[in-house]
Structure 1
């Protein structure tokens, strides 16, 4: 099975015209080489009759003009179903139908432009061979080829447009006189574009990026040629097909590559489309080449020399777009390449190897992520530099649990907008151990903010001792996150409550947690926070009036408790151990620095999201970890 991005490219584009189009646009959707004799005969017949315009024009949108064009094309016998892409050669219009005929005649313009409301009126004279058939383009070409003996000739590149007819072979010089059979024309038997001198060797073609393991199928190659004109008789002017009116005929889709729908196609179903020649309806030779999810098929008919090349994906430079998109999707969604590889292997879906994935990340994905982050960060810091007081929050995320982390990413966030404004990735061997990574990350972030002119009002962090000392010496207002302090105290009290003599504390654990948050949110000064915090020791003994004048009594309404056994008694082991924990000097000092407004919960949420992209049990390189 293969990924196919443009199934519409497989649809045959032969339409039932009453006149042949110029060779530059006969087959505009695929790289095709049609039977050389019939097309050359038509080209020489057109030149013999003096029609040398190479522009073709699409059917206009206006319904009234459109009906006149269709009636002209089908000579009044309009079928029930009319093709969507009908083209009319410029030779079927009179000279007054063009806007720039003078410029075109003098060589100042390469395209003929029609005036509004122009209608084709000139019909070409057809040769006896062509008028004998009333079928479409495909039938007439087939009919002429069948009524002539195969010419004794060697295969050369034609003078057809290299956009549409791109033979994938090299032209070679020869000294042999080429004999050809004329059909319906009175010109010389020697074709004008063949030469008896050695032909110049064409330039080498670009090759696709080699990124695939040794192929399983011996018919599958390791590279695919990028389509370029390599015929020694190629004229760049022939490929400048002019399309006017309301819409241009183009091989490129207006939809961006990354938004084009993709499908899963089985190989046997795909190969059925290339088994039969669309010209002579006989069996064709096929050659497949694959790179990862990309497949290229070359179809060649040994009977009528029909040739075309089909690619399952567009190319980004020399890299298939599907391969690059798949690597980007794996990287951007935080998925595991190895898990995805197992899924592909189970479904028999072809995929590239991990080395190709890392090369895509190194060459395309990671540089794009760094560029996007730097651009957004510059804009955010520019906005913050215009503000007077900025409240920040900072926290470190280690790449593995415990004290054996290799990387630590310190995140700095604007607390008012909940926006990450800086990320500093610190390696443990830079600072002498994982314990020092948090301080180093904070120092680098503050240095960057100072350089960009950001004025800091306060910082909210956890209670890391090195962070406390550094911000105190830097004279920066420092607040502690309530959740970190509540978590530390709850662990100690939960452990104490496991003791048989202190089981009553289990009934008060949730109340003490709520009291920490209420103390921080309802206080405006350090003495008030301390007084409210110490009131919990009276409350658990059913005492609701306090000696501290800053907070003389509890604010809750007076009520009678149904459970008398929950109250603690002075002097009991449970109360003594609770009092020792809550009235500790360090705890009282930290309570005074509890953040009254912003907390680091947004940072914790951000770090939880990072776990999807950079799990703690997976090792990444430095740039890979920074991007994730």
Structure 2
């Protein structure tokens, strides 16, 4: 990788007239008098400055501009094959190569011309600017360093080493990411303080590896009204009794951070983690926080239970009712915008009667089904026989005490789909098949959070007719 070259030193034979240049023939050369040139005196002997020390050029203010090209070595060295002063043949020599940096010395034996050329400017401590830019580009885009350097090696491109990348990461890119996230987080908090009402937060934990032996647990909070990541906590499993405790510890740290900022949580939507539910009930609910469960997580668990029950030979008809039961779960919450727990419980229990063609119920808050009379042509599946094996099996799944208790806390208006999308985005910056150090993982989580905040509220693309575009 080479950028626009810079000449760091040129030493020529000191004479009162310039030597012939490549654009001037001997016949067309012009004698130029320089009466104010006092660099040479007639009584002094002519000497050639052969000093190899060159001044360090100043850093270019726009080093990250798209002005870099890939140049083959043979083509680069051909630029130093002719002396620019006397047009004699010369030979360039690489005197220093450090990652993407290269310095070439050109010496003319005929006229004594000498110069040094380097392909990029230097930063403090004589660090080549493109070396640091390459490390930053790899880290900031979420690429894997070893894969990137393997590609560059296969391509035959001079690059920095993996050790240099990790040194740049430790000294430069990680502090830059943390500083940028602090500014981003302060901006989000400032926007929320200007809004009325308490926070409406989605919270969930993500493990860094599949299974129950995760090294890290990442707890994230997204504010519903602005759809931005408000806080993110990285918990190492060695800090808690086991990796399953990372979720509760991450939530505690996030709430502690919000309390320090004097921010009140009005509603918290999470999955059905029992540790989190107990802690929120004891610590946050007395302070006015409403705790709801996300419907998608409950529906996912319910679907697995129905699939397991449908494996029985006598319960194969349960497969036909599975989508309807899941839809009824969503309808139970969506049709109760005030979140009345008794009404949602009654609506959910009505599914047991409905599938048996019984549409009158014993509950005073929901005495009958809300749908109009169903004609034969409006139905696509048979009713279950009352008392049949499949009806009893479905009733056993739907009326489980733990499930009914969780349905009373269904979130009627807010769901955690944005949080799930954010967790999918983290896979780009920190895939689960790769292990990271604590700071390496933390920096990549912050990159994912800033990426999500920057793009999460963009307008949906529209067609030429003004209709919304959706990718399925």
Residue of structure 1 equivalent to 2:297: 484
- DSSP 3-state at the match of 1:423: strand
The change in CA–CA distance for 1:480 and 1:565 in structure 2 (over 3 A counts) is closer
- DSSP 3-state at the match of 2:10: coil
The change in CA–CA distance for 1:283 and 1:545 in structure 2 (over 3 A counts) is same
Residue of structure 2 equivalent to 1:319: 127
Residue of structure 1 equivalent to 2:407: 591
Residue from 195, 198, 207 that aligns with 1:389 = 198
Alpha-carbon displacement from aligned partner over 1:200-259 (angstroms, at most 9, x marks no partner)? xxxxxxxxxxxxxxxxxxxxxxxxx6527xxxxxxxxxxxxxxxxxxxxxx9867x2112
Q: Is the 8 A contact 2:178 2:443 kept in 1?
A: yes
The number of equivalent residue pairs is 421
Residue from 297, 314, 323 that aligns with 1:510 = 323
In 2, Cα distance between the equivalents of 1:561 and 1:311? 84
Residue of structure 1 equivalent to 2:113: 306
Give, in angstroms, the shift of residue 507 of structure 1. Answer: 0.3
TM-score, length-scaled by structure 2: 0.83
Instruction: Describe how 1:180-579 pairs up with structure 2 within 5 A.
Output: 227=56, 256-288=62-94, 289-317=96-124, 318-386=126-194, 387-474=196-283, 475=285, 476-523=289-336, 524=338, 525-562=340-377, 566-579=382-395
In 1, Cα distance between the equivalents of 2:302 and 2:55? 67
- DSSP 3-state at the match of 1:259: coil
Q: Which structure: larger Rg?
A: 1
The change in CA–CA distance for 1:435 and 1:153 in structure 2 (over 3 A counts) is same
The change in CA–CA distance for 1:371 and 1:564 in structure 2 (over 3 A counts) is closer
Alpha-carbon displacement from aligned partner over 1:378-404 (angstroms, at most 9, x marks no partner)? 222233344431111111011111110
The change in CA–CA distance for 1:495 and 1:5 in structure 2 (over 3 A counts) is same
Does structure 1 residue 32 correspond to structure 2 residue 7? Answer: no
Residue of structure 1 equivalent to 2:419: 603
Residue of structure 2 equivalent to 1:52: none
Give, in angstroms, the shift of residue 152 of structure 1. Answer: 5.9
Give, in angstroms, the shift of residue 134 of structure 1. Answer: 5.1
Give, in angstroms, the shift of residue 594 of structure 1. Answer: 0.5
In 2, Cα distance between the equivalents of 1:140 and 1:34? 18
Q: Show structure 2 runs of 5+ residues with no match.
A: 35-41, 445-472
Give, in angstroms, the shift of residue 342 of structure 1. Answer: 2.1
Q: Is the 8 A contact 2:314 2:389 kept in 1?
A: yes
Q: Is the 8 A contact 1:392 1:458 kept in 2?
A: yes
Alpha-carbon displacement from aligned partner over 1:548-568 (angstroms, at most 9, x marks no partner)? 232222222323235686211
Q: Show structure 1 runs of 5+ residues with no match.
A: 10-28, 42-82, 84-131, 142-148, 158-166, 170-224, 229-250
The change in CA–CA distance for 1:136 and 1:383 in structure 2 (over 3 A counts) is farther
In 2, Cα distance between the equivalents of 1:509 and 1:439? 33
Residue of structure 2 equivalent to 1:163: none
Alpha-carbon displacement from aligned partner over 1:443-470 (angstroms, at most 9, x marks no partner)? 0100110110101111000100000110
- DSSP 3-state at the match of 2:84: coil
- DSSP 3-state at the match of 2:111: coil
In 1, Cα distance between the equivalents of 2:409 and 2:197? 22
In 1, Cα distance between the equivalents of 2:312 and 2:55? 77
Give, in angstroms, the shift of residue 573 of structure 1. Answer: 1.5
- DSSP 3-state at the match of 2:203: strand
- DSSP 3-state at the match of 1:32: strand
Does structure 1 residue 168 correspond to structure 2 residue 146? Answer: no
- DSSP 3-state at the match of 2:153: helix
In 2, Cα distance between the equivalents of 1:613 and 1:496? 39
In 2, Cα distance between the equivalents of 1:360 and 1:265? 25
Q: Is the 8 A contact 2:269 2:293 kept in 1?
A: yes
Q: Is the 8 A contact 1:397 1:409 kept in 2?
A: yes
In 2, Cα distance between the equivalents of 1:273 and 1:286? 8
- DSSP 3-state at the match of 1:263: coil
In 2, Cα distance between the equivalents of 1:588 and 1:39? 99
Residue of structure 1 equivalent to 2:457: none
Task: Quote the RMSD (CA, aligned, Å).
Answer: 2.6
Residue of structure 1 equivalent to 2:465: none
In 2, Cα distance between the equivalents of 1:506 and 1:292? 61
In 1, Cα distance between the equivalents of 2:258 and 2:48? 70
Give, in angstroms, the shift of residue 136 of structure 1. Answer: 6.2
